[in-house]
Amino acid sequence: MPPGALPLAASRTVANVEAPPSLKFLGLVDSTTYRMRCWRILAQQQPFTKTTPSPVALSHVYTAFDDTHFEIQLVRHLLFLNLHKECGTRRAKSNAAGRAIPGADAFRLAQLLSRRALVISEHAHQRDETEYADTNAFFVNFEHIGRETDRLLRLSVAAKRQLIDNGTRVFERHFVPSAIHNVFSPRPRKMTP
């Protein structure tokens, strides 16, 4: 069963709408993964390049495994990145071609969206993208991650708050845990004498 929206009481810390311009990836980026190749390509996109007048910080962390470290990231960032393990590859881009592509990372998305973060993700399976429509998860082609980052960061603080409020309402309504439980629970069987 996929995770749902966390109750507000469980969401002690929320993403910082006034955080300095940055895009944070919570996960492993090392030389043994496709993600390192993607990371290098991504770092060359605007607005992350050092030649940009005000470059946006692109960073990753692989130590946010507990609530304390996760909340530290929320205090420091508003925008988070979801990269598939095979990011930027033909398999990750094959949605239009009808081949299997990775699903949305529901566990990470639920944690971030419940904490009022904005998430930019590579495209996922179409059904997953439909489920997250109108929330604060934005699915784009890998080569457009920089453009989407720039679009979201250019919004005024008031516009960001409005976007977050609207997306959070949709997420909480659509992903209320009891509704998810009802969809994934088996129907009771009739007992026959």
CATH code of the domain in which 17 resides: 3.40.50.2000
Q: Are 24 and 59 in contact (CB under 8 A)?
A: yes
By residue range, what is the domain housing residue 28?
8-89+99-184
In a domain, 37, yes or no: yes
In a domain, 80, yes or no: yes
In a domain, 189, yes or no: no
pTM: 0.82
For residue 30, name the pLDDT band (cuts at 50, 70, 90): confident
Nearest residue to 25 (alpha-carbon basis) of 64, 67, 80: 80
In a domain, 60, yes or no: yes
Residue 185: the pLDDT is: 47
Residue 113: the pLDDT is: 93
Tokens for 104?
């949305």
Q: Are 117 and 76 in contact (CB under 8 A)?
A: no
pLDDT digits 0-9 by tens, 53-78: 778 999 999 988 888 888 899 889 99
In a domain, 131, yes or no: yes
In a domain, 94, yes or no: no
Instruction: Look at 86 and 161; give whichever has higher pLDDT.
Output: 161
In a domain, 140, yes or no: yes
Residue 191: the pLDDT is: 47
Map tokens 């990231």 to a residue.
73
pLDDT digits 0-9 by tens, 87-145: 866 554 544 444 556 777 777 888 899 999 999 999 888 888 999 999 999 999 999 99
What is the count of structural domains for the chain?
Answer: 1
In a domain, 29, yes or no: yes
Residue 8: the pLDDT is: 57
Residue 7: the pLDDT is: 62
